[in-house]
A and B are shown apart, each in its own frame.
Chain A
Amino acid sequence: MALLEVNNLTTRFYTRDGVITAVDDVSFSVDRGEILGIVGESGSGKSVCCYSLLGLVPQPPGKIECGSAMFEGNDLLACGELALRDIRGDDIAMIFQDPMTSLNPFLTVGEQLIEPLIYHRQYSRSEARTRVKELLDEVGIRKAADRFDSYPHEFSGGMRQRVMIAMALINEPKLLIADEPTTALDVTIQAQILGLIAELQKKRDIGVIFISHDLGVVASIADRVLVMKEGQVVETGTTERLFTTPKEEYTRRLIDSIPSGSKPNIMIQTEGSHSSEIIKVHDLHTWFKDRNSVEGEYVKAVNGVSFDIQHGEILGLVGESGSGKSTIGRSLLKLVPVTSGEVIYQGQNLVELLRVQMKPLRRHLQMIFQDPYASLNPRMTVYDALAEPMLYHEVANRKDIGLKVLQLMDDVGLARRYIRKYPHEFSGGQRQRIAIGRSIACKPEFIVADEPVSALDVTIQSQILDLLIELVKDRNLTMLFISHDLSVVRYLCDRTLVMQLGELVEEGDTETIFTSAQMPYTRDLLGAIPQIPGRV
């Protein structure tokens, strides 16, 4: 008999804007000793599905309409809140996506860890303390005894996720539900956490439900995979089978959307401008005052970096979070104060230019930001957002601005009828199209794209990447493409820079770096990418 057997689960949300069926007649089962992966794009109902099982869906507005979930002879959906509370955190435990927000910042880590022991197992505080320290040791937190009284903010992201895992495993649950446990983590940390989950699962022989939007991650850890779309199960099967011979069209599309292999046509060099630098960066330093330090020490976000950007290329910049890659992008455009160094563009050192001297150059140097939700002004329509830079830089006048905006919308693939709509009326991908339109509105020469696809679902991501490639080619653009996602960089970039702790550690043709990286740090980064079966 399966450990957990879910049948015909349907969950709806009754909101002011109507009824939303988040989970629609979903059935699946998990066995002891098995890792079931649930994949789907955002809004596919994969998280709500698991929250419904444990009574963690806020009701109202949520309502579990029908279905059953048999777990050890009990129906989780029918047993009531009190019985469910005894099961939560004891027989079934959960790990959540963002370890930064999932731990209580007001309580010490130790205090939060002992709670399941005290409330489910009636341990005394000192017994619980001993048990917690053993487990912290097991999940790889060194000097566990010293860390017991630390607060969550004193841990790094990866360490916090280890704490979350320890907290979930403390009562030796039979089923672990992991909701996007590595999405907020760097690729190397992600690999460590995935390894840890797999190891602990094997050792304890428990069932795991692993929810993720990232097919690579699911492929690398799950035994069986369930694909969800719009609340419904699209396809289910063993990982091997599903990734090599997907039955459903949607599954195939998901898999095909994962960027893989090298750039379709390497070096789209334009005639004439062959291998001339558009921007030369020399010995760039960007330091910030350390707000946590009394002695006024500096955070050396960018510390002595030199490189050139060639005309017409897409230059990739990769590194873990905190390596200073975003700061480089912002420093090039003088969006942060640069400490020292040179950024030579059109024969001028941008670092030394005054604000007024920068203004005529700004239209040639543009930026696309990561989060299209946060970087568009919610009170400006598409028209406002696209017209503003063109009017400001006088590339269009009041008379022909309307037409120019429409042409721009065509170029970035936005339907013309959306011109009067506000950002919140668009999906993530469409918003990023608006942001891209804004950045190319003034026909710039150089664009810094800072993680432009990280916030997007995989199918949307591949569309946006293709749009970027097309725009770079058609408009003779040069782009610095910043990303933590190495497969995206491999797909898009001609050359790649690798950053670690504010310094460049490796530089070269993208393919050369991916096939024969010289530095151990680069090899670690590459080795951490989750692999999909049937792909090289």
Chain B
Amino acid sequence: MWRFIWIRLLQAIPVIFVVITATFFLIRKAPGGPFDAEKPVIPSVKRALEAKYNLDQSMWEQYVSYIAGLFRGDMGPSFKYPGWQVEDLIASGLPITAELGFYALLVALAVGVIAGVIAALKPNTAQDYIPMSLAMIGICMPTFMLGPLLVLLFGIHLEWLPISGWGDLPGDKILPSITLGAAYAAYVARLSRGGMLEIMSQDYIRTARAKGLPERVVVIKHAMRGGLIPVVTFLGPAFAGLLAGSFVVETIFQIPGLGRFYVQAAFNRDYTMILGTTIFLSVLIVMFNLLSDMLAMWMNPRLRQQVSGKR
């Protein structure tokens, strides 16, 4: 098991390195710069600013010193938030985004697994078609449309829930979590339906029925363990995707999370901020993929044995 984890972590190093390098040069090559504004800055001031942020050095020098900084845990100063280090800004936004992502994931799992399993028990009937059609709508409907719709219905029309903020009013975390989780709930529903359908046709489900077990035990104990493995392997990419995709929801609901840094940085050519958030997200994606693979492995005794190498 440890060997497996080590190999995966070592494999991640070149991946992340390529991400850093590609982002660094792409963003520098993109037209415009952090100090270009509609009203041109006085050349002497601009030169002074560029010197302050090492932008007057050659591209390679900047690259080398940036990488060297990363090894010291220094992601450089933000260009648009003077006086702030990028790592501090990420650290300030992360807890909120992570909490939002976590709730959204819970929504996705609860709704998705239940809908998927119910659909799989009676394939090609209304019990299958209704949840799966809803899932299809969930996948197709963009977050920036679903969010305002929910706000209109539950916030303004019914006046049940607050329409913005995070942790200021009771219940203000509900709508953002649902909005963010909806699309993923739909994916989870489709994955669990597929997985469950496959497992329910296995010979050992027939064995379980032949033992006279109640249908509830057949489904929950015998089928779900194998049937939900596709969902588990999807969890890693899903959580990373939730964090990366949270900016729309954060914008709609005025949530001070990580997402707005990411988007604003791209508009403002805030080089260090773009790099910082990209690196952070790619590390997260790698880590969560590894975590969900480990979880899936733990759930499957055959894989577990192969990896631990015991006979």
Contact B213 A106 (CB under 8 A): no
Contact B212 A90 (CB under 8 A): yes
A78 at interface by CB-CB < 8 Å: no
A292 at interface by CB-CB < 8 Å: yes
Report how far A56 CA is from B206 CA in the complex, Å: 7
Query: Which residues 416-451 in A have Cβ within 8 Å of B in the complex?
Result: none
Report how far A151 CA is from B301 CA in the complex, Å: 7
A86, A104, A119, A292: most-surrounded residue (chain B CB, <10 A): A104
Report how far A98 CA is from B305 CA in the complex, Å: 22
Report how far A164 CA is from B210 CA in the complex, Å: 11
Residues in B with CB closer than 8 Å to A102 are: 203-204, 206-207
Residues in B with CB closer than 8 Å to A85 are: 212-214
For A119, give its contact among B204, B212, B309 (CB under 8 Å).
B212
Report how far A96 CA is from B221 CA in the complex, Å: 20
Task: Classify the secondary structure of A's interface with B.
Answer: loop
Residues in B with CB closer than 8 Å to A164 are: 207
Per-residue CB proximity of B120-144 to A under 8 Å, as 1/0? 0000000000000000000000000
For B203, give its contact among A96, A119, A120 (CB under 8 Å).
A96
Contact B210 A88 (CB under 8 A): yes
A291 at interface by CB-CB < 8 Å: yes
For B211, give its contact among A106, A116, A151, A291 (CB under 8 Å).
A116
Task: Classify the secondary structure of B's interface with A.
Answer: helix
- Given the interface pairs A107-B222, A153-B305, the reply to whether A101 lies near B204 with Cβ below 8 Å is yes
Report how far A293 CA is from B214 CA in the complex, Å: 40
Report how far A171 CA is from B226 CA in the complex, Å: 27
B225 at interface by CB-CB < 8 Å: yes
B311 at interface by CB-CB < 8 Å: yes
B300 at interface by CB-CB < 8 Å: yes
B302 at interface by CB-CB < 8 Å: yes
Contact B210 A89 (CB under 8 A): yes
Report how far A102 CA is from B213 CA in the complex, Å: 15
Contact A292 B206 (CB under 8 A): no
Contact B203 A98 (CB under 8 A): yes
Residues in B with CB closer than 8 Å to A107 are: 221-222, 225
Q: How far is the CB of B208 from chain A (nearest CB, A)?
A: 7
Q: How far is the CB of B304 from chain A (nearest CB, A)?
A: 9
B306 at interface by CB-CB < 8 Å: yes
Report how far A294 CA is from B4 CA in the complex, Å: 12
Q: Given A56-B206, A119-B214, 12 more contacts at CB 8 Å?
A: A88-B210, A94-B210, A96-B203, A101-B204, A102-B206, A105-B204, A105-B301, A151-B301, A153-B305, A167-B207, A291-B306, A293-B311
Contact surface of A with B, Cβ cutoff 8 Å: 54, 56, 85-90, 93-94, 96, 98, 101-107, 115-116, 119-120, 151, 153-154, 164, 167, 291-294
Q: 6 shortest A-B CB distances, which residue pairs?
A: A89-B212, A89-B211, A88-B212, A294-B309, A101-B203, A106-B225
Report 30 cross-chain contacts, Cβ distance below 8 Å, ordered by A residue. Answer: A85-B212, A85-B213, A86-B212, A89-B210, A89-B212, A89-B213, A94-B207, A96-B210, A101-B202, A101-B203, A102-B206, A103-B204, A104-B207, A104-B208, A104-B226, A106-B222, A106-B300, A107-B221, A107-B225, A116-B211, A116-B212, A119-B211, A119-B214, A151-B302, A154-B305, A167-B207, A291-B306, A292-B305, A292-B309, A292-B311
Contact surface of B with A, Cβ cutoff 8 Å: 3, 202-204, 206-214, 217, 221-222, 225-226, 299-302, 305-306, 309, 311
